[in-house]
Amino acid sequence: MTGRHAAPTPAPRRPVDAGGAVLGCQDLHKTYRRGREHVHALRGVTLTVHPGEVVALVGRSGSGKTTLLNCLLGWETPDSGTTTLTDQTSATGARARWEQVAVVPQRFGLLEEITLLDNVALPARLAGHPDPTTAATEMLTALGLGDLTDRAPGEVSLGQAQRTALARALVVRPAYLVADEPTGRLDDETTTHVLGVLRDLCATTGTGALIASHDTTTITHADRVLHINDGHL
């Protein structure tokens, strides 16, 4: 691991703001056709992520985890039910302004032709941040990548690229974060540090985070753990 750092102690559990939701859904159903078979990916799923809260979503492959994330983000349309993003509620999939949304996919989506610093600074620049380079540098440094800012994505490890994708997502201080296995390439020490940074940022900015993960370290850092199985939450 490049850029050694002390792993922070996990933040204490925070009281949840029950007065609103930055992300959620109510009675969500989604069915696919696979040949003659109907696959019930989501069966009446209801959840809420509150400001400043870190929620872990746990489920095996095929449990409905990815479908749920896609419906919450508006990338897929549920058959029925409603989704909520910040102050919007929709029966067909709400869509928030892009700068309110932070997504960390399993395939990181970094631009290979520019540096890590420029990858992270780009969304801040597009969002009108007054000093996107400084914001990006601070975010990368917080995640232990301060000495790699001038590297291209192809010049760093998969774990370092994964942390860069998280830095890029968080640099705009979004209303909510949806992350699919964001620590899957990291060792336990780095995972603990990254989750400490994430929890501190959520507590400070009010970002609500929904993290799909099988990692036990991630689960222990979450305020709540939701289990999904065969489309049931």
Query: Counting every residue, how long is the chain?
Result: 233
For range 37-59, the mean pLDDT: 92
What pLDDT shows up at residue 136?
Answer: 95
User: Distance of CA 169 to CAs 14, 15, 20, 51, Å?
Assistant: 23, 25, 22, 17
Q: How confident is the model at residue 99 (pLDDT cuts 50, 70, 90)?
A: low
Q: What is the pLDDT at residue 87? A: 54
Residue 188 pLDDT > 90: no
What is the pTM (predicted TM-score) of this model?
A: 0.81
Kindly report the average pLDDT of the chain as a whole number. Answer: 83
Confidence of residue 144 (pLDDT cuts 50, 70, 90): very high
| Whether the predicted pLDDT of 10 surpasses 80 | no
State pLDDT tens for residues 14-24. 434 444 788 89
CA distance 161 to 30: 33
Q: Which residues contact 231 (CB under 8 A, 6 or more apart)?
A: 30, 40, 41, 42, 43, 45, 63, 64
* 100 DSSP assignment: G
Question: In sequence order, what E strands does the chain have?
Answer: 23-34, 37-49, 54-58, 80-85, 88-90, 101-104, 176-180, 208-212, 224-227
| pLDDT value for 33 | 84
How large is the average pLDDT for residues 64-71?
Answer: 90
Residue 96: band (very low, low, confident or very high) from pLDDT cuts 50, 70, 90: low
Q: What integer pLDDT is reported at residue 15 of this predicted model?
A: 39
Structure-model confidence comparison of residues 42 and 13, the more confident one = 42
Rounded to a whole number of angstroms, the CA Rg of the chain reads: 18
